[in-house]
Amino acid sequence: MALCDPYTAFFLTSVLLSSVQSSPSVIDDLNNLQPHPDFSVTISNNCLKNPSLRYCSGFFPTDLPDIFKATIVADHLCNESNNNNCNGDSFTKIDLRNRPKITPLYLSFAFFWKYCPLTVLVIDLSNNSIKGNFPTDILKCTQVQSLDLSHNNFNGEFPMKNFSLLNNLTLLILSYNHFSELPISDAHFLEQFGSSSFLHSGLLPNHRKFKIKATFFLVGFPIFVILTVVSLGWICFWRPDFLPPFLRHQHKFTPSMLKAATSGFSQDNLVAKLAELDIYRGKLRDGTEVRIEIYQDKITPEQRKEFVEECRVLVQLDHKNLVRVLGWCDRRNPRAIVTEWSNGMNLVRWLSQSPSWNKRLKVLVSVVEGMCYLKDQWPGVVCDLKASSVLLSEDQEPLISRLWITDQNNYSRMVYMFGVLMLEMIVTRSSPNVLKEGKSIVEWVRMHYPGNIWVVMDARIKKSGMTYEQASQMVDLGLMCTHLSDEQQLPNLHHISKTVKRVYEASIVLGTPNHEQWHSERD
């Protein structure tokens, strides 16, 4: 029994014929159609006569408009598909071959496919050049036995899961489309329909391509693993600075790292070249500027072991007046120590610029603080206190740059070197008087002290704040530190520190005396 009256069928025919001009208007017209008042009674009667109708499984009043529109489209589609004895829900095929103008419109009627007649067994939408994804709505006709979507422009993924309900499907033709290739594991689904049904569909896996991929994987993956292992091994052995911090040795440098830091040991980065020592300025990968001391002497394996153990201690030193040791390289070529870089000058050059008395005392205070740190916490570490080995940082903080470990008690030697440094702060080593008499600073000072103390003073600092009392205390302390005939009489390092600090603090309090005061004190 038809569910729409002749007028409605005529109306649908007219709007569908106008679909070429404006398909949205057709949809709007269908949406405006409302079922006649006794439409629900008609449906109920039809379900009593034929319970297998799709909408008979249960519907709500809100479903009536969609059912009504679906029956209208079904009547028209039955005739369009050249079915015999079209009678609403009792036609067997939907044949829209070569109908590119109206086929997309029928595909857009989701309400029709929802209530697709159970009698439809064949759906043929071929040769329409339809674009877009697979029209999954048509798969709601779960009873269909034949589906032909060939010669279109469908693309995208094939809805494999949606086909699980099409148990009666025996013919599926999807040739000449542009679907995405199916995985090998899903290709067995297509085998039941024959490969000729999927020519140029894009679905069939390319076994040749698969073999190439498999061969590439079987051959390429092991090669990739080998190259990865080799690369990681190279990085770990030669350039560990490319590794994350938690994976690399914190203080160990390799020759490649040093070479990269110095631009291939460029002459432009060579700071000094001694008999068996080359000193380079370099920059690490993280931007840290460093001083690299490369030793050219040959040592035994036992000496190399001692070198490493010494470096392990030096990297632990942490004091503002000690140059920070960053690490070492213990390869045969080169063997090196890496320390932080200081842009400042050494004390020899600094003294040539005639710094004030107050600044000289401040440097001595800081140097003795570094010595006390070593004496108290690292008694096995000794330092070189030559003026040429003490550097100044950018903020004028002295840095003791030469450190090493010894098994012997070198306390007296350190105190002696500090005494010499104190005297050099008062009488520069380039003083004409010292050079003229050909004596060491210590000998020259002993000749004139205490009888003629002003003779030993550097004339350039006499007017910079020095008093007779301060000069006497510092010279006296310097000579006491250089008295090696009786080590038991050497001053205690903490006593030295207190004396130097006291003189420094006094120089701050007293300020700078005028020229007349200097002359009166000298007389």
| Structural domain includes residue 45 | no
Give yes or no: residues 351 and 500 share one domain.
yes
Give yes or no: residues 335 and 349 share one domain.
no
pLDDT value of residue 399: 94
Task: List Cβ neighbours of 357 (8 Å cut-off, separation of 6 or more).
Answer: 461, 464, 465, 466, 470, 507
Given a cut of 80, whether residue 33 has pLDDT beyond it is no
- What pLDDT digit, counting tens, does each position of 171-185 carry? 999 999 999 988 877
Domain count within the chain? 4
Q: How far apart, in whole angstroms, are the C-alpha atoms of residue 201 and residue 187?
A: 13
Question: How would residue 62 be classed by pLDDT, with cut points 50, 70 and 90?
Answer: confident
Handedness of CA 443, 448, 450, 453 (dihedral sign): negative
Bridge partners, 252 (sequence order): 328
pLDDT value of residue 228: 74
Pairing status of strand 93-95 against strand 131-132: unpaired
Which has the minimum average pLDDT: 52-66, 126-140, 188-202, 335-349?
52-66
Q: How far apart, in whole angstroms, are the C-alpha atoms of residue 51 and residue 44?
A: 10
Give yes or no: residues 258 and 125 share one domain.
no
pLDDT value of residue 428: 59
pLDDT value of residue 50: 78
Question: How would residue 467 be classed by pLDDT, with cut points 50, 70 and 90?
Answer: confident
Q: How far apart, in whole angstroms, are the C-alpha atoms of residue 479 and residue 423?
A: 8
Class of residue 145 by CB neighbours under 10 A (exposed 0-12, middle 13-18, buried 19+): middle
- For all residues of the chain together, what is the average pLDDT? 82
To the question of pTM greater than 0.75 for the whole model, the response is no
Bridge partners, 387 (sequence order): none
Query: What is the average pLDDT across 271-299?
Result: 91
| Structural domain includes residue 22 | no
Which has the minimum average pLDDT: 119-128, 159-168, 204-213, 503-512?
204-213
Given a cut of 50, whether residue 1 has pLDDT beyond it is no
- Cis check for the bond before 104: say yes or no (omega within 30 of 0): no
Query: What is the average pLDDT across 56-61?
Result: 75
Q: How far apart, in whole angstroms, are the C-alpha atoms of residue 298 and residue 304?
A: 9
- What pLDDT digit, counting tens, does each position of 107-162 carry? 989 989 998 888 899 999 999 999 999 999 999 999 999 999 999 999 999 998 88
Higher confidence at residue 126 or residue 71?
126
Q: Decide if 245 contacts 201 (C-beta within 8 A).
A: no
CATH of the domain at 446: 1.10.510.10
pLDDT value of residue 91: 87
Pairing status of strand 153-156 against strand 146-148: unpaired
Given a cut of 70, whether residue 294 has pLDDT beyond it is yes
Higher confidence at residue 217 or residue 284?
284
Given a cut of 60, whether residue 18 has pLDDT beyond it is no
CATH of the domain at 87: 3.80.10
Q: If we measure between CA atoms, which residue out of 285, 383, 400, 302 comes closest to residue 342?
A: 400
Q: For the chain, give the percent of residues with pLDDT over 90.
A: 37
pLDDT value of residue 139: 93
Residue range of the domain that includes 318: 250-340
Give yes or no: residues 455 and 473 share one domain.
yes
Q: Decide if 289 contacts 283 (C-beta within 8 A).
A: yes
Give yes or no: residues 369 and 472 share one domain.
yes
Q: Decide if 269 contacts 263 (C-beta within 8 A).
A: yes
Q: How far apart, in whole angstroms, are the C-alpha atoms of residue 168 and residue 141?
A: 11
Give yes or no: residues 116 and 80 share one domain.
yes
| Structural domain includes residue 68 | yes
Q: Decide if 433 contacts 355 (C-beta within 8 A).
A: no
N-to-C CA span, the chain: 141
Q: Decide if 473 contacts 500 (C-beta within 8 A).
A: no
Higher confidence at residue 465 or residue 86?
86
pLDDT value of residue 27: 58
Give yes or no: residues 79 and 164 share one domain.
yes
